[in-house]
Structure 1
Amino acid sequence: MTRQARCPFDPPPAGIAAQQAAPLLRVELADGSTPWLATRYAEQRALLSDPRMSADITRPGYPIPGGGEGAGSAFSFILMDDPEHARLRRMVTAPFMVKRVEAMRPAVQEIVDGLLDDMLVTDAPVDLVEAFALPMPSLVICRLLGVPYSDHDLFQSNSKILINRETSANEKRQAVGALVDYLHGLLRLKAEEPGEDVFSDLARRVEANELSSDDAAMMGVLLLVAGHETTANMIALGTLALLEHPHQLQRLRENNDPALVTSAVEELLRYLTIVHDGRKRVALEDIEVAGHLIRAGEGVIMATDLGNRDPQVFPEPNTLDLRRDARHHIAFGFGVHQCLGQPLARMELQVAYTTLFRRIPELKLAVPLDEVPFKHDGSVYGVYELPVTW
C-alpha cells in the first residue's frame, strides 16, 4: 500500500480505508494468494496471543510470496512455534531483561555523547543517520553481543539487503550466507577466547551440545540485524517527527521529568510503528474472529501500524501527543513472540532523543521535508538520510 507523500508519518490511505471498512478482510499478495488482513487493535492482539496461530514460515498458507525463501531462515526463533521457539529464546533472554539493560544506561550515554561530540565539531549540515542514528545502536549491540564494531560495514550492508522488499530471494540468501559465515567464525573465536557477552555464551552452549553451530549463527543474525536496524530507524524517524511537531518537541526540551521522556518514547513508537510488513501468522485450526471464520491453513497479516492508529483505542490517533499514555501499543508485537529486545530499544531511544535535543537545542532540518528520502521500499520504515543543521 502506498503512502501519501504529504503525510509520510501516517499509514497508507488504503490501509486506513480498510480499517474503517472491517476488522478483517481479504487482501491479495504478489503471488496471487489471498490471506486475511487484520486492521484493528483488538483483533490483532487476540490473534497474536492465540496459540492456534502459527509463526512458522515453512507452513503452507503462511502469508508471504515464495514461502520461506530468501531471508526467512535468517530470523531464527521468531519464525518458529513453541516449544522450539521458547527453548531457543530462553537462551538469549537474560541480557535483555530490564535490570540488565538499565545497568547499561551509563555506557549507552557515553556512546551517545561521544557520537555527538564528533558531530558537533563537523561542519553542518550533517547526515544524522550516518553520524548518529545508525552507529549508536550498532555500537551498543556490538558491545552486548561481543561483535567487533570494526566489522560494522559487513553486517550493516547485508542487513540492508535483508530488510529491503525489492531485493530478490537469491540476493537475500547470499546476504544471509555472508552473515552466517561471519558469525560461524566469530563463534569459533569466542570458544577459544570467551568473554562476558552473548556470543561467548552461545559458543559455550554449542560446546555443551545444547545448541547446534548453525542454530547459534542464525540466532546471531537475528540479534545483530534486529538489534541495530530497528532502533536506528526509530532514532532518525522519531527525530524527524519531533522536528515536524515543534510544540511537542518543546515539551520534551523543557521538561526533564523521566516520566515524560518515557511517555514520549512510547508515543513515538505507537505513532510511527516502523515494522511495515505486519506480523504474519497461519491458522492451525478454524478460528472465529469478529464474525469472520479464519479456516485452518489460511494466512493472516496483522497490520500493527493500523492497529496503533485504531481510534477505538487511541483517541485522535493521527495526532502525536507526547503526554498520551501509549504503553499498551503493539509496536513490539504481542504474545509470546513480542520483541525480545524491547527493554534495550526503549532505553536507547530515551537516551538518544533527550541527549540529542539537550545538546543541540537549535537542531533543525537542512532540507525541505519533501526532499528527505523515506524508506518506502523497506520492511522497516525510516529515512535513508536525514540532513540536519543547527
Structure 2
Amino acid sequence: MHHEPSAHTPEPVSLPYERPAGCPFDPPAPLAELRARQPLSPMAYPDGHQGRLVTSHSLVRAVLADPRFSSRYELMHYPMPGGPEGELPPAPPGDMTGMDAPEHTRFRRLLAGRFTVRRMRLLTERVEEITAEHLDAMEAQGPGTDLVQAFAQPIPALMICELLGVPFADREVFQGFVTALMSLDSTPDERMAGMTGLQEYMHGLVLAKRAEPTDDLLSDLTSSDLTDEELTGVGGFLLGAGLDTTANMLAHGTFALLRHPDQLAALRADPDLADQAVEELMRYLSIAHTTVRVALEDVELDGQVIRAGESVTLSIQAANRDPERFEDPDSLDLHRKATGQLGFGHGIHQCLGQQLARVEMRVALPALLTRFPTLRLAVPADDVPLRTDMNIYGVHSLPVTWDGK
C-alpha cells in the first residue's frame, strides 16, 4: 500500500504512548492510528535526535531484514525517556544484540550450531520434569500463589542453568544473583551486586568448563576460538535474553488465557493446539514491544529517504497487530495460524533461543492448565500490576488461586 506524502510535514511523534486503561494486552491506541495513516513517521527522540518510527508489519520486517540498518548500540539514540544519557557504549564481548556482521556472524554461527534438535529434545524432557516439580510444589502448598514467583520465573531460570551447565549445587547462588537483578524490590546497589556476582560466577564457570567439559552449551563453546571474556559475555547474554522474556510470556500468557476463557478452554481441550497457541500468544502479547536500528547509509523506504545516522524505532507490537497481515488482529485466536509474527524478531538477529522458548511455553502452559482445572485470578484483573515502564512488557506478579482437594 503506497501512502501519499501529505502537503504538510507531520509533527514528529514521541514515545512512549500510554496503554489503554483496562486493556492489559493491547498496544497503545495511537500506534494503530499511525500505522493506518503514516506507518513511517518522523519521531523526536528524548535527546533531541530526529529519527523515525515504523508501525506496519511489512516495513518493520523490511528494516529488520536490511543490512543497511545497524544494531550497534553506540550508533543508536534511545527511543524512550529515562534511558541512558549521552552516547551508548558499544556492545560488551558476547552481546550479539548490539553487533553487526561480520562480528555478529562469528558468534551467531558458533551458537546456532549448538541449539541442535538433539539438545532441544533433551531440554524438552527437562522442561517437562522441571514444570512438573513446580506444579507439585504449588499443589502441595495449597490454593493461592503468585504465579510469577512459583512458576513463570523459576522454569526458564532453571532451563538456562541446564543449557549453560550450571552445576546443581550452584543453582541457588546463581538464582540469588538473578533475583537481585530482576526483582523490583532490589535497590540499585543490590542490582549492581547481582550483576557483578553473575559476571564473576560466569567467568568461574567458563574456566571450570575449559578444565572439565560436560554435556552443555558452554562446554561445547570451549572448543571454539572464543576467549574467556567472550565466553563469559555469551553466558551473560544468553541468561539475559532467555530469562525475563520467557518468564513474562508464561505469566502474561496465563493472564491472557484467564481473561479469554473460550481460548483457555480450547487449549485445555486440545493439547495439540499448544504449538499454534504459542505463536498466537507471541503475536498478541508482543512483550518485546520496541526495538531500534540505525541507517548506515541513505535508504529509501516507503517513498521516503531515511538519512545515514538516523535512528529508526520499530514498533513490534504495532506490526504484530497489523490488519494488512493478520485478520481481526486485536482478537486472541489460538486457532489462527500466526506465522510471520515478529515476536522473536526477524532477520539476522532473530531470537537465537526461540526453539527453547517455544519448548518452555508449549510444555509449561498446557501442563499448568491441566493440573489446575479451576485456576483463576485471585485479584480483580485491573489490580494485576503491569510492567508498563519496562523493555519487556508483562506482569510484575500474577496472584492466582484454585479449588483445593
When normalised by structure 2's length, the TM-score is 0.87
Matched, 1:230 2:245: yes
Matched, 1:320 2:332: yes
Partner of 1:270: 283
1:127–1:387 CA contact under 8 A, matched in 2: yes
Partner of 1:306: 318
**Which range moved further: 243-252 or 26-35?**
26-35
Secondary structure of residue in 2 paired with 1:73: coil
Distance 1:297 1:80, change over 3 A: same
Secondary structure of residue in 1 paired with 2:61: helix
Q: Deviations over 1:186-217 (max 9, x none)?
A: 21222233211122233444xxxx12222211
Alpha-carbon deviation of 1:67? 5.8
Secondary structure of residue in 2 paired with 1:250: helix
Alpha-carbon deviation of 1:110? 0.9
Partner of 1:157: 180
Partner of 1:91: 110
Distance 1:65 1:171, change over 3 A: farther
Secondary structure of residue in 2 paired with 1:85: helix
Aligned mates of 2:339, 2:101 — CA distance in 1: 27
What stretches of structure 2 of length at least 5 have no aligned partner? Answer: 1-16
Secondary structure of residue in 2 paired with 1:224: helix
Distance 1:44 1:160, change over 3 A: farther
Matched, 1:362 2:374: yes
Aligned mates of 2:181, 2:90 — CA distance in 1: 11
Amino acid aligned to 2:360? E
Distance 1:61 1:232, change over 3 A: closer
**Which range moved further: 31-40 or 183-192?**
183-192
Partner of 1:113: 132
1:138–1:149 CA contact under 8 A, matched in 2: no
1:53–1:283 CA contact under 8 A, matched in 2: yes
Amino acid aligned to 2:323? P
**Which range moved further: 231-240 or 187-196?**
187-196
Partner of 1:344: 356
Aligned mates of 1:137, 1:298 — CA distance in 2: 36
Secondary structure of residue in 2 paired with 1:91: helix
1:70–1:172 CA contact under 8 A, matched in 2: no
Distance 1:176 1:17, change over 3 A: farther
Partner of 1:49: 65
2:44–2:51 CA contact under 8 A, matched in 1: yes
What stretches of structure 1 of length at least 5 have no aligned partner? Answer: none
Alpha-carbon deviation of 1:265? 0.9
Secondary structure of residue in 2 paired with 1:263: helix
2:72–2:91 CA contact under 8 A, matched in 1: no
Secondary structure of residue in 1 paired with 2:74: coil
Count of aligned positions: 379
Aligned mates of 1:16, 1:33 — CA distance in 2: 24
Aligned mates of 2:191, 2:229 — CA distance in 1: 17
Instruction: Give the fraction of aligned pairs with identical amino acids, expressed as a percent.
Output: 44
Q: Deviations over 1:294-334 (max 9, x none)?
A: 01111111111110000111111110000001021010000
**Which range moved further: 187-196 or 293-302?**
187-196
Matched, 1:251 2:266: yes
Distance 1:379 1:74, change over 3 A: farther
> Among residues 288, 305, 309, which one is paired with 1:297 in the alignment?
309
Amino acid aligned to 1:142? C
Aligned mates of 2:348, 2:86 — CA distance in 1: 22
> Among residues 24, 28, 38, which one is paired with 2:54 in the alignment?
38
Distance 1:319 1:74, change over 3 A: farther
Partner of 1:59: 75
When normalised by structure 1's length, the TM-score is 0.91
Partner of 1:81: 100
CA RMSD, aligned part only? 2.4
Higher RCO, 1 vs 2 (CA within 8 Å, ≥6 residues apart): 1
